[in-house]
Amino acid sequence: MGFRVSFGLSALVFIAGKAESILDHPQHIPGFVVPWSTDVAADHYHRFREDLAFAKQMKFTSHRFSISWSRVLPTGGVDNINKEGVQFYTDYINEVIKNGMEPMVTMLHFDQPYTLELATGGWDSSAMIDKYVEYADFLFKTFGDKVKYWNTLNEPNMYCSYFRILMAQSVAPDNSKFYQCLHNIILAHMKSYKLYEKNYRQTQKGKVGISVLMLPPTPKTKNEEDLVAAETFNQVYVGSLVQPIVSGDYPPLVRYLVDKRDADEGLGRHRLPAFTPEEKEILAEGVTDFIALNVYGGCTASYRHNESAIPNPALLPGPSAEDIPFADIDCSSDFGQIDESVMHNALIWIWNTYHVPIIVAENGYGDSKHAGVNDQARAAYHSANLRALVQSIREYGVKVLAYYTWSLIDVFEFSAGYDGRPFGLVHVDYQNGSLNRTLKNSAQFFIQLNETGRVPFVPAPREPDDTSAGTAFSVSLEVFFLSLLGTVGLWLFAG
């Protein structure tokens, strides 16, 4: 499974006072996927009203989007506020609300200002913590009267695995700093959460959470050893981020595994930092109102009896998996997997482990088969995942606040370019350069869902995106009435 990150919808790097971000920078270096082509991308900056009208047409009731730090504070601090950038997001939020949708804001989606990255050393350095908190304070103060749902940082476990390299002009990231990066982000989230709680919650009445990428592992067999491998992977890949903000510290199993490997390899230091007693006390109070869960596809976990055998790094979801010497984690499946067990396993594990409300912040189908607008497989994917979500709520008592699909329109992705595996419900014509938008057939699934409050059953095509199955949208299954708040995904408040 390759990594998936879209380039910011608004793009247009050097327009209206926006500075270069750490995601812009590598795209201006020869050898990138499509050098320089992302400075305009889908031109959402100029066409957001058109795009949000599509979301309204699909009857979504919420819209999740990110604010670009480098657009509002080009050098990272409040000493240099870009008024044009602030006005853009003010207009954007107003348009979201005008179209009947609740805004949910991701405050940082991997794109801090490049100059700030150079000045601080990025998230490998504790210097980023207070810089981020200052930025968070600015967003709360500027937009908090209309934004009630805040996602502080997107997928820190993914960012610290892969995207630290994007700002660097080196061949490979220093994987030994993965946990230091994660540690600093946890502290930045903690301080931002407490800041909101102290200065803004009483008047703005909003909620603050953080998102995590989950790759739910399925044990290769029912043997106890494979079950242990799967559970350990969840603890390491997800628990390293979520458990501190819910319970106050890293999972003991993670501490044991990382420290043991450090000792075995004679590093002479601990890669996994320790929280101070004061930090543990604050964290233990619980510093998140929800867990924003990003889930696409799953992995397979099996017990490795030969611990000296080195797995193929291409199949690993980052350096954290290397700290599990007894597990083979195969995440080689793509983003077109239609398997309801992935969503089911993710929700059940998160809820049973942490008992914190969940927002499914990203869930989407990457069309590597290039079906274009005739995308029944995408409808089948969302049908399977939403039916699994409903079942998790009804039968297991999981508290799911919302569901968002990735993504509203086709967007550029770092590992796939513009056409490698488009995720959008709206087709964007990149090939001819017109950037014209066309609603895909899968949009009918969400229209029916929002009109009826029921999850339509859509069968998986016999062949990928075989459009001959003409009854795709005719069956309504899992009768479950929803108070919907949908968007670039679906904001679905489930009572």
Catalytic residue among 231, 279, 362, 413: 362
362 catalytic? Reply is: yes
pLDDT at 160 over 80: yes
Would you state the pLDDT for residue 43? 83
Rounded Cα distance, 390 and 459, in Å: 17
Work out the average pLDDT over 111-124: 94
Distance of CA 210 to the CA centre of its chain: 9
The one-letter code for the residue type at 339 is D
The DSSP code sequence of 131-147 is: HHHHHHHHHHHHHTTT-
Query: CA separation (Å) from 358 to 89, 291, 351?
Result: 26, 5, 8
Angle among Cα 455, 465, 367 to the nearest 5 degrees reads: 85
pLDDT at 317 over 90: no
| Structure-model confidence comparison of residues 312 and 394, the more confident one | 394
Lowest mean pLDDT among 217-231, 286-300, 471-485: 471-485
pLDDT at 482 over 60: no
Would you state the pLDDT for residue 44? 86
155 catalytic? Reply is: yes
Q: Name the pTM for this structure.
A: 0.90
**pLDDT tens by residue, 332-365:** 777 678 999 999 999 999 999 999 999 999 999 9
Work out the average pLDDT over 302-330: 76
pLDDT at 457 over 50: yes
% of the chain residues with pLDDT over 70: 81
pLDDT at 417 over 80: no
The one-letter code for the residue type at 104 is M
Letter string b/e over residues 180-192, b meaning 16 or more CB atoms within 10 A of that residue's CB:
bbbbbbbbbbbbb
| Structure-model confidence comparison of residues 145 and 171, the more confident one | 145
Using pLDDT thresholds of 50, 70 and 90, give the confidence band for residue 421.
Answer: low
What letter does residue 137 receive in the DSSP assignment? H
**pLDDT tens by residue, 217-244:** 999 999 999 999 999 999 999 999 999 9
> Given the DSSP bridges, would you call strands 492-493 and 483-484 parallel, antiparallel or unpaired?
antiparallel
Catalytic residue among 95, 102, 155, 279: 155
Using pLDDT thresholds of 50, 70 and 90, give the confidence band for residue 448.
Answer: very high
Work out the average pLDDT over 388-407: 96
